[in-house]
Amino acid sequence: MAVSRADGRGNEDLRPLGIVYEKLARVDGSARFGFGEMEVLASVSGPIEVRLAAEQPSRATIEVNVRPLSSLPGTESKALAASLRGLLTPSIILSRNPRTLIQLVIQSLTPSLTDRFSPSLVAASINAASLALLNGGSIPMTGVVCAAAVASLHPAFEEATSTLVLDPSEAESHTAAASGCFAYLFTTETGESQESPAIPGARLVWTNWHAKNGTFDEGELSRARALGLVGAETVWRAIKRSIPQMDGLPSLPAVGHLSAEVLEGAAQDEDDIKVSDRESDDAKIET
């Protein structure tokens, strides 16, 4: 069932994605990610020297610090930092750099209506962290973690069922019956995903779905997980297209009619070159 959203989006529409690779000083990689006006800045340093107490002999140590837009980090920030450390770990090959530290700092750039991080802000934090790790280039990775938020909005009529929407605004999350963030690890492994056969290598690594009334609906959670995968895949494809920005190049165009024409023209040019080369070789033989 479609609902009328304040910004005119459809139920499965994300806000415009913003990806900027920053060039912050004294860090190895940095990036800014946003859903519309909701933005998060992340930076990564590493592998660097680690404190003796945190040193691990067979793997690198991951440290994540989450900072709100204002005030000092509290319990909510520390809980989110612990979750990010856990969900990002599967994407990093820690055994390559033992006895070192990988330090992530995530800074919210958006004011919040409450003291809690909204699901969309959590998703933006995860995506920004993945972008910073990619931008660093010094940390070996098995894949990229991408996330999207989902909310279950109250029905307009009492007898109607609730409706799931992708990338809820903070106002929608505040009034939703249930909401949460879903993070998926996208890899280049062959084979089909258990979550979605159409997306190779997509694996759910974290979710924080919760209902305000305390009632758990397994069917709704399953539908929300599937919708979250749709949003995470959209983010993943946007990240792939943004990679050239790291070197100051324009983003790769989306595959479409124009791209097909360009590829077809390039293939024709290549065939012409091969024909010309063969004619030149024949002339040499006759001589």
What the block records as the tokens of 287 is: 């001589």
- Please give the DSSP secondary-structure letter assigned to residue 197: T
Q: How far is CA 64 from CA 80, 129, 201, in A?
A: 9, 10, 25
Residue ranges in 23-118 assigned as alpha helix (H): 75-88
pLDDT, residue 283, reads 56
pLDDT, residue 6, reads 86
Does 49 map to a domain?
A: yes
pLDDT, residue 257, reads 41
Alpha-carbon distance of 56 to 47, in angstroms, equals 13
Do 172 and 215 lie in a common domain? yes
Do 90 and 54 lie in a common domain? yes
Give the domain range for residue 47: 17-252
| pLDDT level of residue 72 (50, 70, 90 thresholds) | confident
> Looking at this protein, which amino acid is placed at residue 178?
A
| pLDDT level of residue 190 (50, 70, 90 thresholds) | very low
pLDDT, residue 156, reads 55
Alpha-carbon distance of 225 to 176, in angstroms, equals 16
Does 10 map to a domain?
A: no
Do 276 and 248 lie in a common domain? no
What the block records as the tokens of 6 is: 């304040």
pLDDT, residue 209, reads 94
pLDDT, residue 201, reads 74
Q: Are 31 and 52 in contact (CB under 8 A)?
A: no
pLDDT, residue 215, reads 77
Q: Are 67 and 73 in contact (CB under 8 A)?
A: yes
Give the chain's mean pLDDT: 84
- What does the pLDDT look like over 122-165, one tens digit per residue? 999 999 999 999 999 889 999 999 999 999 997 654 545 789 99
Do 88 and 225 lie in a common domain? yes
Choice among 74-83, 112-121, 157-166, 247-256 with the minimum mean pLDDT = 247-256
Do 265 and 137 lie in a common domain? no
Do 125 and 200 lie in a common domain? yes
- What does the pLDDT look like over 259-273, one tens digit per residue? 444 445 545 554 555
| pLDDT level of residue 256 (50, 70, 90 thresholds) | very low
Does 235 map to a domain?
A: yes
pLDDT for residue 280 is more than 70: no
Its pTM stands at 0.83
Do 136 and 277 lie in a common domain? no
Do 276 and 187 lie in a common domain? no
pLDDT, residue 93, reads 95
pLDDT, residue 251, reads 60
